[in-house]
Amino acid sequence: MFNFNTKQPKILVIGDLMVDHYVWGKCDRISPEAPVQVVNIKNESNRLGGACNVAANLSCLGAKVSICGVIGDDDMGKWLISELDRLCIDVGFVVPIKKRPTTQKSRILVANQQVLRVDREDNNHIDDELKNEILSMLSYKMNTFDAIILSDYAKGVLRDDLTKEIINLARSENKFILVDPKGSDYTKYKNATLLTPNKTEAMQATQIQIKDDESLKEAMLKIKKMCNLEICLVTLSEDGIAILDSKKKLIKSPTISQEVYDVTGAGDTVIAALAFGLSSGLDIFKATTFANAAAAVVVGKVGSATATLSEIISFLHNGAYANSKILQHAELETLLPSLREHKIIFTNGCFDILHRGHIEYLQKAKELGDILIIGLNSDSSVKKLKGESRPINSQDDRAAILSALECVDYIVIFDEETPRDLVRLIAPDVLVKGSDYQGKAIAGSEFAKEVKLVDFIEGKSSTKIIEKIRS
């Protein structure tokens, strides 16, 4: 589905390095000293957090990853380094500081519910000496990376001046630079390739209340202008990712349906997948499809915030669409960027009472390319075209029968009398119609690269079969 470059992308993550510490316990009583739960600890574990989780996601995808930030000269710092080493993440840019603790978020959970969080951290900006040391290291190595990710959690590493200098350095080397922003002032991220704010963060940064597509586009245009971004996008949680194209048109890349178990770390997965995709030669639209799929894999797991490349590809092929070739419009829109690697054939029809003529017509259509997509008239659409007595078979039954044909790849049901809007969405390489359309206007033909007319088998039609049965 995705034609990745054969080279292993080299990606540098810069930001706030954190440890997520989890404490699981049981509570059977309230303390006699204060109205609080008494938690009997049963288990504890550490996980990579903040910028470290972004790096872990990249490592799982197969990137060659380096990470830059600061840790304390303490046990948590040593654990963090050992865990990054285990994932083969280069820690040569990590600086230990004696008087600064490693950022640690401890979450106390009782019966799988978080009852308390305790943070150990120093949010003060790193000093000038350390800032200059980091910049010096990066200046020497910046040209070796394909992309840079700034993972800003406002813990003091990405101070304004350092952030601006890193972005300018990366752009001078023509590197992708992606930012997971923090706070309401985005000016320090000016000239980045893209930012990944969610809807709430975009509202805070622009002071625009996002309530519909129009206000969303207004906020995105403001962020794009404010930060002089090459690509402008906003993450929309279960609604996917919104992007402004080169003509400033708002395009939404929807999520792929998946049962959600744990959303922890989904944002880190999205920015990691975007950087991996762009560094591997995907355009932004394919990269967002890839990122949405990666996020879908992550939220479908419990207690895990990473997805491997094979899991994502498997999910797209076998998870999202395995049980049916029948797609909703949003699912088709998500899948289209990867389908465009192949020659797409489109045809449409009612296909009421499938017969030999239909099958040979579809087989001939498939021979014209790689992927055959059928636009299937809905029941209401068939009634408009054929009368109240049609269809004989419901749209679900007709779609199920068509999906059993080997030559058919995907089926999309549409309600309109013509498939013009669907053809515009798909923009197929070849639009196929029956030979009876010779000399007639064909709906949507202006959106296809080529139109082909295919001969029907004489005397074979659903209408004639129905008439024969009735007589």
**Identity of the amino acid at 221:** L
pTM: 0.69
Which spans in 283-440 are helix H? 284-299, 309-314, 329-339, 356-366, 379-386, 395-403, 420-426
Name all domains of the chain by residue range, CATH numbers in brackets.
8-319 (3.40.1190.20), 324-468 (3.40.50.620)
Nearest to 326 by CA among 213, 214, 441, 413: 413
Count, residues in the chain: 471
The C-alpha atoms of residue 95 and residue 99 are separated, in whole angstroms, by 12
The reply, when asked if residue 198 is annotated as ligand binding, is yes
The C-alpha atoms of residue 237 and residue 192 are separated, in whole angstroms, by 22
Q: What is the pLDDT of residue 260?
A: 44
* Tokens linked to 224: 């794009």
Instruction: Return the pLDDT at 153.
Output: 93
DSSP character at residue 187: G
Helix or strand or coil: residue 17?
A: strand
Q: Where are the alpha helices (DSSP H) in 249-340?
A: 266-279, 284-299, 309-314, 329-339
DSSP bridge partners of 49 = 18
The reply, when asked if residue 200 is annotated as ligand binding, is yes
396 a catalytic residue:
no
Question: Which of 268, 352, 409, 429 is flagged as catalytic?
Answer: 268
102 is in an annotated binding site: no
- Tokens in use for 195? 């930012």
| Tokens read off for 463 | 């209408």
* 418 appears as a binding residue in the annotation: no
| Alpha-carbon distances of 127 from 163, 182, 370, rounded to whole Å | 14, 20, 58
Q: Which residues pair with 18 in a beta bridge?
A: 49, 103
Write out the chain's pLDDT in tens, 471 residues: 566 766 799 999 999 999 999 898 999 999 999 999 999 998 888 989 999 999 999 999 999 999 999 999 999 999 999 999 999 999 999 999 998 999 999 999 898 788 899 999 999 999 999 999 999 999 989 999 999 999 999 999 999 999 999 999 999 999 999 999 999 999 999 999 999 999 999 999 999 999 999 999 999 999 999 999 999 999 988 788 999 887 888 888 776 655 544 445 678 999 999 999 999 998 888 898 889 888 888 776 645 568 888 778 767 765 554 446 788 787 787 678 767 768 999 999 999 888 888 899 999 999 998 889 999 999 999 998 888 888 888 998 999 899 889 899 899 999 998 999 999 999 999 999 988 888 888 999 999 999 999 887 766 676 677 777 777
The amino acid at 248: K
What pLDDT does residue 208 have?
95
